[in-house]
Amino acid sequence: MAVDFKVESGIAVVTFNRPEAMNAIDYPMRREIQQIWRRIDEDEDIFAAVVTGAGQHSFCVGSDLKRTPPPLQSFAELAYGARLNDSLTIGIQTDKPLICAFNGYAMGGGLEIGLACDIRIASDNAKFALSEVRVGTIPGSGGTQRLPRLIGRSDAMMLLLTGDTIDAAEALRIGLLSKVVPYEDLHSTAIQIARRIADNAPLAVRAVKRLVQQGTDLPLAHALEAERNAWGILRDTDDRREGRAAFAEKRKPIYRGR
């Protein structure tokens, strides 16, 4: 399999595993990735997920241009037919937190996967680029839309229009990353973040993510109303009562997602 997938103690770890090709994505691997996003969303035993790449040199350099020739179908067939959408991030929409751990080069579709995650950290040797304009195309899995929302229009346009590559320090400076760590600490740091999230009340965690995602596209007054409604929904849950009781009793809470 070109993608390794395992779940341990409520945390899923997705590892792109074609290091001989810098974890580039061919069509079979693309299908695996799309199926994994759905599995994360549907598996109630998963509370958070970490996405990373095999090896020290590359997270994912996007599509394998040598093994992904242009499709035979028309765009209308692909867009409106029975065929699965080819976007790498189709199905990644989930209320469960996704942590991306960039372990090297993150280019094209590889970076776009990271942009669709909630938290991004990187090893200090990581490099980033959306260089599609250099080969006559555009980022097609959300890059032109997610990047400006994450780092601001000017920095995003600089990357998108030049196709330039930046290092981890610059990615941290412009807000693409939350943290940069030595390569040997990357996996453990990502798992620690996922563990801290998974230890919290799952309904509250998912509510927070959904509110942030939806609120970005709402007027502030409507977003605040949605936040208040979510607070009211969570107010009467068993988990909220357990959290308050555990705090008073100075013990670790036991959350059950209800």
Q: Which of 139, 255, 122, 129 is nearest to 193 (CA)?
A: 122
The pLDDT of residue 69 is 58
Whether residue 180 has pLDDT greater than 80: yes
pLDDT for 1-32, tens place per residue?
799 999 999 999 999 999 999 999 998 999 99
Strands (E) in the chain, as ranges, are 3-8, 11-16, 48-53, 58-60, 98-102, 105-107, 119-123, 127-129, 166-167, 179-181
Q: What integer pLDDT is reported at residue 246 of this predicted model?
A: 93
Q: Any idea of the CA torsion for 150, 151, 154, 157, to the nearest 10 degrees?
A: -60
In this predicted structure, what is the pLDDT of residue 70? 61
- What CA–CA distances, in Å, run from 230 to 83, 225, 237? 36, 9, 11
Active site residue 112: yes
Instruction: State yes or no: pLDDT of 64 exceeds 80.
Output: no
Span 170-186, average pLDDT: 98
Percentage of residues of the chain with pLDDT beyond 70: 92
Res 177: pLDDT: 98
CATH placement of domain 3-198: 3.90.226.10
**How confident is the model at residue 150, as a pLDDT?**
96
3-class DSSP assignment, residue 42: helix
Give the per-residue pLDDT at 102: 98
Q: Is 32 a catalytic residue?
A: no
Under DSSP, the state recorded for 254 is: -
pTM of the model: 0.90
Catalytically annotated residue among 20, 44, 112, 225: 112
> What fold does the segment set 202-249 form as a domain?
Lyase 2-enoyl-coa Hydratase; Chain  A, domain 2 (1.10.12)
Q: Count CA atoms within 13 Å of residue 83 on its CB side.
A: 15
- Give tens-digit pLDDT for 108-134: 999 999 999 999 999 999 999 999 999
Rounded mean pLDDT of 171-183? Answer: 98
User: Residue 76's pLDDT band (boundaries 50, 70, 90)?
Assistant: confident
Query: What's the one-letter identity of residue 250?
Result: K
pLDDT of residue 88: 83
Per-residue pLDDT, averaged over 69-94, amounts to: 71
Position 82 scores a pLDDT of: 54
- Per-domain residue ranges of the chain: 3-198, 202-249
CA distance 254 to 208: 19
Radius of gyration, alpha carbons of the chain:
19
Secondary structure of residue 210 in the 3-state scheme: helix
> Which residue is catalytic, options 8, 32, 132, 249?
132
